[in-house]
A and B are shown apart, each in its own frame.
Chain A
Amino acid sequence: MIRSQRWKGAAFTVPFQLGFAFLYLLPIGYAVYQSLFLQKQSGLGLGGATTEFVGLENYQHGLTDSAFMTSILRVVVFACVQIPFMLLVSLVLALFLDAVSARVAGRFRIVLLVPYMIPGVVAAIVWINLYSPAVGPLTPLGDLFGFDWNFFAPSMVWPAIGNLLTWHGIGYNMVIIYAALQGVPRELFEAARLDGASELRIALSIKIPFVRGALVLTALLSIIQMLQIFNEPALFRNVTPETVSDSFTPIMIIYNQAFNAANYHYAAALSVLLALILGVASFVFYRLTSREAD
């Protein structure tokens, strides 16, 4: 390629590079810089606040902050339950879709994708009302079968949010897994059938190993999303502030530190910590799953 042409090619990416520098690199750098300072009140706070350089003190504070660590643990435990469950349901549905006739599969695929078309905030609003003892149909339905469930009770908040996320995510994950299933060479199934393999055996030994990549990817995307969960708990908090505290998830803590406690420096340190945790978690997960494949 001619030299001048190369630079013209680079020019196509210049708007993006400038924007990326301004909207990604600069904010990250700014957050890291800010995280090294702390606003300190002098005396009784009468003399005004001074900003001091404190080095890694904010990070030290964050790592020993039990509210922050608890929120991370809470989200991780929740992720370990909800993500495998959601992906298992998505996988089973994708296998079902793959096994029924193409016409039926097409119809069900659209029906199962309906939740994905609904914005996350609206989905949460709808489910909060479904759960609501005042207007939702689930409470009378529970009475009918003898369940006395209260979805806004502390023990039910995670199952309630988990159900909401599962409902919202099944269709999307199913479509990705289903698309991967379409790539399995059909000849393999005939060969297996000639060998006398049952449909279940074919699903377990051929189809599932074949869609491993799609499963790893959907799991990774779900993990990244889950560690940053904010919308759903924030909406639940709007309705039941007594069950969902303002330090329920890491991002909620960060948001509150920045905007309600006006402790921006600490919020910056926590968001850098969360980014590091997210990076490490993604890397470890990717490593674990790709080693198994070999």
Chain B
Amino acid sequence: MALTENRKENNAQTAAVPPCRRTVRRLTRPDPASRSRGGQRFMLLGLALAGVYSLFPVYWLMIAATKDRVGLYQSNGLWFSGWHLWDNLQQVFTYDGGIFLRWTANSFLYAGVGSLGGTLIALATGYGLARFDFPGRGAVFACVVGSFLIPIALLTLPLYLLFSAIGLVDTPWAMLIPCLINPFSVYLAKVYTEATIPFELLEAARIDGAGELRIFFSIVLRMMTTGGATVFLLAFVNTWNAFFLPLTVLRGEENWTLNLGLYNWIGKRQESGIDVTSLVLTGALLSIIPMAIMMVAMRRYWRTGVTLGALK
């Protein structure tokens, strides 16, 4: 094929070009001479349409949160009609004795504490798997990868029975304990360790007389800050978004997460005739905010996490 022949030739050519020129060329892509104006416009249009599609529901949600009941049902959904955001917020925070705040605190507790513990365990495991050769290492890693295929129902239902046997159902522990063991975090931690912790460094520390625990806590963990932040972030998002596990193991509403509470609210409208639509919508908007702040603040980590986890 002409294409492949030419590729070889071209590789030889580019190899002769000094490296700095190549980087310049990469930065200034797309090569303007080679692209038609129309093509660019078409692509920008396509991206813009996809952008509108992506943002439109969020936009609608923001508008809806500022409306009162009449405005919600009768005004144009795409534009403001009165400003009732404060009333709606007040309603959300005071409804049912301020249960919404309780749910928010629970979500933060489960996602924050659970992910912190889970990240520490995952980093230790990833480090052990990546930098030590012990019998059974392959089996542990096989468990990590194999568990990606286990349906949540297969784990959650028996876990519910086990937890109820030891009296953990309907306590925060029922959410926190499962968060401590996250095979995907372990997988990521292993990949990060392989990329950031050189064997030579560990050897040097050992020769200097540092114990294995000290090496882990004062050298490895410090060097893994970026990797650890990514693992934490992804675990946090995962727990914050969890639905099946809390639905199964949390019964009383004082232990619910935000997701579970909103699920219950949206069902209420059906069952008992009270309209809680604006309550649900304002609550939904509020529940997005911590996630959005978290994602934007930790954008750098999160991007590498998403792509690294997928490509390795």
Task: Establish whether residues B43 and A121, one from each chain, have CB atoms under 8 Å apart when the complex forms.
Answer: no
| Nearest neighbor of B267 in chain A, beta-carbon distance | A238
Q: Which residues of A contact B (CB under 8 A)?
A: 1, 5-13, 15-17, 19-20, 23-24, 26-28, 30-31, 34, 89, 92-93, 96-97, 99-102, 104, 108, 111-112, 114-115, 117-123, 125-130, 134-137, 140, 167, 170-172, 175-176, 179-180, 186-195, 197, 199, 205-206, 213-214, 217-218, 221, 224, 227-228, 230-231, 234-235, 238-239, 241, 251, 254-255, 258-259, 264, 267-268, 271-272, 274-275, 278-279, 282
Whether B113 sits at the interface, judged by CB under 8 Å, is no
Task: Establish whether residues B307 and A255, one from each chain, have CB atoms under 8 Å apart when the complex forms.
Answer: no
> Chain A interface: which of B50-58, B80-88, B92-100?
B50-58
Task: Establish whether residues A134 and B73, one from each chain, have CB atoms under 8 Å apart when the complex forms.
Answer: yes
| Nearest neighbor of A117 in chain B, beta-carbon distance | B295
| Nearest neighbor of B107 in chain A, beta-carbon distance | A119
CB of B224, distance to nearest CB on chain A (Å): 13
Q: Report if A191-B9 is in contact (Cβ < 8 Å); known contacts: A117-B288, A117-B295, A186-B25.
A: yes
| Nearest neighbor of B293 in chain A, beta-carbon distance | A117
| Nearest neighbor of A277 in chain B, beta-carbon distance | B151
Task: Establish whether residues A179 and B311, one from each chain, have CB atoms under 8 Å apart when the complex forms.
Answer: yes
Q: Report if A264-B157 is in contact (Cβ < 8 Å); known contacts: A10-B132, A13-B140, A125-B284.
A: yes
Task: Establish whether residues A96 and B43, one from each chain, have CB atoms under 8 Å apart when the complex forms.
Answer: yes
> Interface residues of A: mostly helix, strand, loop or mixed?
helix
Which residues from A are CB-within-8-Å of B29?
A: 101-102, 186
Which residues from B are CB-within-8-Å of A6?
A: 132-135
Which residues from B are CB-within-8-Å of A179?
A: 306-307, 310-311
For chain B, the count of residues having a C-beta within 8 Å of the partner chain is 104
Whether B225 sits at the interface, judged by CB under 8 Å, is no
| Bound CA span A265–B83, Å | 54
CB of A152, distance to nearest CB on chain B (Å): 12
| Bound CA span A128–B311, Å | 34
Task: Establish whether residues A128 and B73, one from each chain, have CB atoms under 8 Å apart when the complex forms.
Answer: no
Which residues from B are CB-within-8-Å of A271?
A: 151, 153-154, 157
Q: Report if A267-B53 is in contact (Cβ < 8 Å); known contacts: A26-B162, A122-B259.
A: no
Which residues from A are CB-within-8-Å of B35?
A: 99, 199
Which residues from B are CB-within-8-Å of A258?
A: 157, 160
- Chain B window 60-76, contacts with chain A (Cβ cutoff 8 Å), 1 for yes, 0 for no: 11001000000011001
CB of B141, distance to nearest CB on chain A (Å): 10
Whether B131 sits at the interface, judged by CB under 8 Å, is yes
Task: Establish whether residues B51 and A241, one from each chain, have CB atoms under 8 Å apart when the complex forms.
Answer: no
- Chain B window 115-142, contacts with chain A (Cβ cutoff 8 Å), 1 for yes, 0 for no: 0000001101101110111111100100
Which residues from A are CB-within-8-Å of B277?
A: 129, 134-135
| Bound CA span A13–B120, Å | 11
Task: Establish whether residues A24 and B128, one from each chain, have CB atoms under 8 Å apart when the complex forms.
Answer: no
| Bound CA span A17–B157, Å | 21
- Chain B window 281-303, contacts with chain A (Cβ cutoff 8 Å), 1 for yes, 0 for no: 10010011001100100000001
Q: Report if A278-B149 is in contact (Cβ < 8 Å); known contacts: A10-B134, A93-B47, A199-B35.
A: yes
Task: Establish whether residues B150 and A28, one from each chain, have CB atoms under 8 Å apart when the complex forms.
Answer: yes
Task: Establish whether residues A231 and B243, one from each chain, have CB atoms under 8 Å apart when the complex forms.
Answer: yes
Which residues from A are CB-within-8-Å of B311?
A: 176, 179-180, 213-214, 217
CB of A72, distance to nearest CB on chain B (Å): 12
Whether B40 sits at the interface, judged by CB under 8 Å, is yes
| Bound CA span A189–B6, Å | 11
CB of A67, distance to nearest CB on chain B (Å): 16
Task: Establish whether residues A30 and B158, one from each chain, have CB atoms under 8 Å apart when the complex forms.
Answer: yes
CB of A9, distance to nearest CB on chain B (Å): 2
Task: Establish whether residues A194 and B6, one from each chain, have CB atoms under 8 Å apart when the complex forms.
Answer: yes
Q: Report if A119-B266 is in contact (Cβ < 8 Å); known contacts: A24-B181, A176-B310, A255-B153.
A: no
| Bound CA span A20–B150, Å | 13
Which residues from B are CB-within-8-Å of A129?
A: 61, 64, 277, 280-281
| Bound CA span A10–B133, Å | 8
Task: Establish whether residues B132 and A28, one from each chain, have CB atoms under 8 Å apart when the complex forms.
Answer: no
| Bound CA span A89–B26, Å | 26
Q: Report if A117-B291 is in contact (Cβ < 8 Å); known contacts: A100-B30, A167-B57, A187-B14.
A: yes
| Bound CA span A96–B151, Å | 35
B161 interface neighbour in A30, A175, A214, A255, Cβ under 8 Å: A30
Which residues from A are CB-within-8-Å of B51?
A: 108, 111-112
| Bound CA span A43–B108, Å | 50
Given contacts A129-B281, A167-B53, A180-B311, 4 further A-B pairs with CB under 8 A are A1-B132, A15-B121, A16-B124, A23-B178
Task: Establish whether residues A127 and B153, one from each chain, have CB atoms under 8 Å apart when the complex forms.
Answer: no
Task: Establish whether residues B177 and A24, one from each chain, have CB atoms under 8 Å apart when the complex forms.
Answer: no
Residues in B196-252 with C-beta less than 8 Å from chain A: 206, 212, 216, 240-241, 243-244, 248
